[in-house]
Amino acid sequence: MALDLPVYLDNHATTKVDPRVVESMLPYFTVEYGNAASRQHEYGWRGEAAVELARKRVGEVIGAAADEIVFTSGATESINLALKGVAGTHIGRGRHIVTATTEHRAVLDTCQHLERYGFTVTYVQVDRHGLVRAEDVASALTPDTILVSIMTANNEIGTIAPIEEIASVCRNAGVLFHTDATQAVGKIAIDAHRLGVDLLSFSAHKMYGPKGIGALFVRSKQPKVRLETQIDGGGHEHGLRSGTLNVPGIVGFGKAAELATQECERDGERTARLRDKLVEGIKEELDDVSVNGHPARRLPNNASLTFPQTKADTLMMEMKDVAVSSGSACSSASPEPSHVLRAIGLSDADVLASLRFGLGRFTTEDEIDFGVRRVVETVKRVRSRRMAMSA
Ligand X SMILES: *Cc1c(COP(=O)(O)O)cnc(C)c1O
Binding site for ligand X (CB under 6 A): 74-76, 104, 106, 151, 155, 180, 182-183, 203, 205-206, 214, 330
Task: Please state the closest distance from residue 240 (CB atom) to ligand X, in A.
Answer: 17
CB of 95 to ligand X, least distance (A): 24
Q: Are 93 and 236 in contact (CB under 8 A)?
A: no
Q: Between residues 206 and 219, which has the closer beta carbon with respect to ligand X?
A: 206
Q: Which is nearer to ligand X, 75 or 319 (CB)?
A: 75
Q: Hey, is 123 helix, strand or coil?
A: strand
- What is the smallest separation between the CB atom of 338 and ligand X, expressed in angstroms? 13
Residues comprising the chain, all counted = 391
Name the closest residue to ligand X (Cβ): 74
Give how far Cα 102 sits from Cα of 129, 150, 331, 337, Å.
11, 9, 13, 13
| 95 contacts: CB under 8 Å, gap ≥ 6 | 87, 118, 119, 120, 144, 146
330 is catalytic: yes
Closer CB to ligand X, 10 or 180, in the complex: 180
Nearer to ligand X, 264 or 289 (CB): 264
CB of 382 to ligand X, least distance (A): 28
Q: How far is the CB of 153 from ligand X (least distance, A)?
A: 7
User: Least CB distance from residue 130 to ligand X, whole Å?
Assistant: 13
CA distance 296 to 265: 17
**Which of 228, 224, 167, 227 is closest to 196 using CA atoms?**
167
Q: Looking at beta carbons only, is 203 or 310 nearer to ligand X?
A: 203
Is the Cβ of residue 131 or residue 319 nearer to ligand X in the bound state?
131
Shortest distance, position 212 Cβ to ligand X, whole Å: 8
Measured from the CB atom, is 204 or 382 closer to ligand X?
A: 204
**Nearer CB in complex with ligand X: 14/378:** 14
Q: Who's near 102: CB < 8 A, 6+ residues apart?
A: 126, 130, 132, 151, 154, 156, 157, 159, 339, 340, 343, 344
Beta bridge partner(s), residue 295: none
CB-neighbour burial class of residue 372 (10 A; exposed 0-12, middle 13-18, buried 19+): buried
d(CA 323, CA 370): 12
Pairing of the two strands 302-306 and 290-292: antiparallel
Are 173 and 210 a contacting pair, CB within 8 Å? Answer: no
The residues with which 214 forms a beta bridge, in sequence order, are: 72, 203
By the 8 A CB rule, do 156 and 328 touch? yes
Spatial CA neighbour of 192 closest among 210, 180, 209, 203: 180
User: Is the sign of the CA dihedral 281, 285, 289, 290 positive or negative?
Assistant: positive
**Positive or negative: CA dihedral 112, 114, 119, 125:** negative
Give the residue numbers annotated as catalytic, written as ranges. 330
